[in-house]
Amino acid sequence: MDLEIESLLFKQVSKPKNYFMTKIHNLWEDRYRINVYIQFNQDNLTKLKIYSSYFCRYSPGKLSIVDGLKKTP
């Protein structure tokens, strides 16, 4: 199911340039928090951070973004 949710999300929003992974958390019933992570280098270290975060409702074949926050890289 997570793969379907991720696929439906990226049909609605673009995948960031330095995309690393997506974490999907079921909060309750059909509501999910989806965090999109990017990878970047800082001080000779590879780091991860949340690039965007979405509160969504999911039913099979349909994902509705209720609220979203996009952060700057």
pLDDT digits (tens, 9 = 90+) for 21-71: 999 999 999 999 999 999 999 999 999 999 999 999 999 999 999 987 665
Which DSSP string corresponds to 6-26?
Answer: HHHHHHHSPPPTTEEEEEEEE
Give the range of the structural domain holding residue 29, as residue numbers without chain letter: 2-70
CA dist 9 and 65 (Å) reads: 8
Counting the structural domains of the chain, the total is 1
Reduce the DSSP state of residue 49 to 3 states and report it.
strand
Q: What is the pLDDT of residue 21?
A: 97
**Predicted pLDDT at 1:** 80
